[in-house]
């Protein structure tokens, strides 16, 4: 049965076991739950493993210690790993189970607790099974069996409410499950394994939830050996979360429509990932910058408007402040989001996306030879511009262009209508003011519409003797609301 959820994820490492100095106190041990308590978050998901170890006292798998430095390392080569190991040991020395303490706290705060497991590799795996060594990964029964045992332990020995299969960690955070030349023809091996896990999770006195992190497109999933369509048609998964691990830039235009259609007549819910960042050190023009509340509200609104059953986020700027708490409080409330200010931005390509076949709209390079040719991008907004016209106080389109000068002649069309007569303010383009320029249009006569929109860039004529190409780096829409009508009469 479909269910609305607002989910927050903690990977056990970066903002938890890596940061607190041992010995760990109970207050620190339960802080991940306390941070999102009292918000709209009703489900807490905990990443119990990395490819080189588990972050709890497992009886069937290897506990994380030295990480990539190997079990024979003479000591810890990173302070974060030293903290993690000693924090876990300090809890166990006091008779406190590091995983149960989180589960119990979540339940005390009326939250569900799901355990999320990366699948491509694990601590102690035989080197000959690893894909990078020519091994077969999930082609080996021993690999599938090991991961099954870990999941069974998490279901049987802990009061978890659900389990999550992380298929979307490769290539940024894990190995693929199958060798490249086996991913399509042997995808049935993965589906059959998921069927076994689903049966184990659901056929018990108190059935548990089984979800999966998957890629945003069907093509990407099939290229990784993940047959999402079959898993959903066979009722194996209670939810799916489209995402790409290590692509941490918020993507309000993520193509989730195929999943909404696929799950329409099923009991599988769709919880798209709200990635936490605005910029992610993509290149020399960008520094790490977290998404603002308005950006998160725009993306969440888009997902709900397309039919998502809930939203899922992680790794907000830490330590969480009132800003992050407000984000978590509002993203689960569709009614509140309706007239929240929104800041939509078009997603850009990053290094991690160059390793997978996931298309982005930006950047767009326009050489002078392409003058007169339209370069369109599509974007989605959830706001009902037409029917909320008296509540909307401000709509701004911002475009940042590389190597633009004021003598260049460039046209912009929004849904087929020119915005050239709208008020435009120019400003320096932040990091490299001599290379970049922001154009900020206040949209009064030509406005975006609810749903899909098309923005076109047309270079009419370059400044005399300037032969370098233009590059559209950023495009953003800001929508602001007020309590009173915007007219005086």
At residue 286 the predicted structure's pLDDT band, cuts being 50, 70 and 90, is confident
- Summarize pLDDT for 425-460 with one digit per residue, the tens: 999 987 778 899 999 999 999 999 999 999 999 999
Host H or E run for residue 360: none
- Nearest by Cα to 259 from 297, 210, 221: 221
Phi-psi group of 263: left, alpha or beta (phi > 0 → left; psi -120 to 50 → alpha; rest → beta)? alpha
- CA gap 275, 244 in Å, rounded: 9
Q: Which CATH number fits domain 361-481: 3.30.70, 2.60.40, 1.10.20, 2.60.120?
A: 2.60.120
Q: Do domains 6-335 and 361-481 have the same CATH topology?
A: no
pLDDT value of residue 487: 67
Q: What share of the chain is helix, strand, coil (3-state, %, to 5)?
A: 30, 25, 45
Q: Tally Cβ neighbours within 10 Å of residue 104.
A: 15
Would you list the domain boundaries of the chain? 6-335, 361-481
- Summarize pLDDT for 107-136 with one digit per residue, the tens: 999 999 999 999 999 999 999 999 999 999
- CA gap 466, 217 in Å, rounded: 40
- CA gap 260, 270 in Å, rounded: 7
- CA gap 206, 165 in Å, rounded: 19
Percent of the chain surpassing pLDDT 70: 99
Which residue's structure tokens are 């798998």? Answer: 61
Residue 10 has pLDDT above 70, yes or no: yes
Give the DSSP letter of residue 267: S
176 close to 131: Cβ distance less than 8 angstroms: yes
Q: In sequence order, what are the beta bridge partners of 424?
A: 441
- Summarize pLDDT for 28-75 with one digit per residue, the tens: 999 999 999 999 999 999 999 999 999 999 999 999 999 999 989 999
pLDDT value of residue 489: 57
- CA gap 320, 467 in Å, rounded: 48
pLDDT value of residue 226: 99
Q: Which CATH number fits domain 6-335: 3.20.20.80, 1.10.760.10, 3.40.50.1980, 3.40.720.10?
A: 3.20.20.80
Residues 6+ apart with CB under 8 A from 433: none
The model's pTM is 0.97
């Amino acid at each position: 049965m479909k269910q609305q959820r607002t989910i927050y994820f903690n990977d056990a490492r970066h903002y938890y076991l890596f940061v607190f100095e041992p010995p760990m106190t109970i207050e620190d041990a339960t802080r991940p739950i306390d941070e999102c308590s009292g918000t709209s978050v009703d489900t807490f998901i905990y990443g119990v493993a990395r490819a080189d170890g588990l972050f709890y006292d497992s009886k069937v798998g290897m506990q994380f210690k030295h990480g990539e430095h190997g079990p024979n390392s003479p000591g810890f080569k990173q302070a974060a790993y030293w903290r993690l190991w000693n924090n876990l040991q300090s809890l166990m020395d006091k008779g406190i189970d590091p995983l149960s303490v989180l589960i119990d706290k979540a339940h005390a705060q009326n939250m569900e607790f799901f355990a999320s497991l990366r699948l491509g590799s694990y601590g102690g795996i035989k080197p000959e099974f690893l894909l990078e060594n020519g091994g077969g990964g999930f082609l080996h029964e021993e690999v599938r069996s090991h991961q099954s045992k870990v999941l069974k332990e998490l279901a049987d020995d802990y009061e978890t409410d659900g389990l999550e299969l992380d298929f979307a960690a490769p290539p940024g955070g894990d190995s693929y499950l199958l060798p490249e030349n086996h991913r399509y023809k042997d995808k049935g091996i993965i589906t059959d394994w998921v069927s076994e896990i689903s049966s184990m999770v659901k056929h018990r006195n108190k059935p548990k939830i089984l979800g999966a992190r998957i890629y945003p497109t069907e093509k990407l999933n099939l290229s990784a050996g993940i047959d999402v369509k079959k898993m959903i048609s066979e009722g194996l998964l209670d939810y799916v979360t489209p995402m790409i691990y290590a692509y941490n830039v918020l993507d309000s235009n993520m193509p989730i429509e195929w999943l909404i259609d696929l799950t329409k007549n099923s009991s599988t819910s769709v919880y798209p990932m709200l990635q936490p960042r605005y910029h992610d050190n993509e290149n020399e023009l960008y520094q790490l910058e977290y998404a603002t509340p308005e950006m998160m509200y725009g993306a969440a609104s888009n997902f709900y408007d397309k039919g998502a059953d809930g939203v899922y986020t992680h790794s907000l700027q830490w330590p969480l402040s009132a800003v992050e708490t407000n984000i978590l409080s509002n993203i689960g409330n569709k009614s509140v989001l309706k007239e929240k200010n929104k800041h939509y931005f078009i997603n850009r390509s990053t290094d991690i996306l160059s390793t997978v076949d996931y298309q982005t709209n930006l950047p767009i390079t326009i050489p002078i030879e392409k003058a007169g040719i339209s370069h369109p991008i599509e974007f989605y907004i959830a706001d009902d511009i037409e029917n909320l016209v008296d509540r909307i106080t401000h709509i701004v389109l911002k475009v940042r262009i590389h190597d633009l000068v004021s003598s260049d002649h460039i046209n912009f069309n929004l849904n087929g209508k020119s915005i050239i007569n709208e008020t435009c303010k120019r400003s320096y383009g932040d990091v490299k003011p001599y290379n970049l320029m922001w154009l900020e249009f206040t949209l009064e006569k030509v406005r975006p519409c609810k749903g899909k929109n098309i923005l076109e860039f047309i270079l009419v004529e370059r400044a005399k003797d300037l032969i370098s190409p233009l590059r559209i780096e950023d495009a953003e829409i800001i929508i602001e609301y007020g309590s009173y009508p915007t007219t005086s009469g």
